[in-house]
């Protein structure tokens, strides 16, 4: 019988929140509120002849990652790496966190403002030191809205 590999995060750190949102409010007491959680971006081009392929767009978001320590202690690196639908990866962002154990943790707020030029699923890989702790999907869709006058449509 094959031996089961142990989950490196069985005892922490734990991912409490991993999400994209349009805005984060941080109150005076340190509590955060996530505004407009996003997992799909739909870009629409309209007119008499909108492009067949999606043009490059930007849609700035905030990636929110809340980690709770569990048994994790000390200084660690959290790295976020975007992966395009083509499989190509973009440059990573790395944040150093200090884990203090038990229920204490960190809110990591990372601005994501990358160009989207492909339709499909974008993955954001989250690594804690050398291990993947989470992956966040973000789907980008393109919609064409072809408009014309009523007389030109009747001639078709």
pLDDT of residue 4: 55
Structural domains of the chain in order of their starting residue, each with its CATH number: 14-44+56-142 (2.60.40.10)
What is the pLDDT at residue 9?
A: 72
Tell me the C-alpha distance between 130 and 4, whole Å: 20
Alpha-helical (H) ranges within the chain are 150-154
Residue 92, pLDDT > 60, answer yes
**Confidence (pLDDT) at 5:** 59
β-pairing, 120-128 vs 61-83, is antiparallel
Higher pLDDT, 38 or 30: 38
For 105-129, write each residue's pLDDT tens digit. 899 999 999 999 999 999 999 999 9
> What length does the chain have?
156
């Amino acid at each position: 019988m094959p031996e089961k590999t142990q989950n490196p995060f069985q005892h922490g750190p734990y991912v409490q929140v991993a999400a994209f949102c349009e805005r984060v409010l941080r109150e005076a007491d340190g509590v955060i509120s996530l505004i407009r959680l996003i997992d799909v971006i739909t870009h629409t081009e309209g007119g008499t002849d909108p492009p067949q392929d999606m043009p490059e767009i930007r849609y700035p978001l905030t990636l929110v990652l809340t980690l709770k320590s569990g048994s994790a202690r000390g200084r660690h690196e959290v790295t976020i790496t975007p992966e395009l639908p083509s499989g190509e990866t973009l440059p990573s962002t790395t944040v150093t966190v200090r884990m203090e154990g038990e229920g204490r943790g960190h809110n990591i707020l990372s601005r994501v403002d990358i160009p989207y030029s492909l339709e499909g699923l974008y993955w954001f890989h989250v690594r804690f030191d050398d291990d993947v702790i989470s992956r966040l999907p973000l789907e980008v869709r393109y919609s064409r809205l072809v408009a014309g006058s009523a007389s030109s449509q009747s001639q078709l």
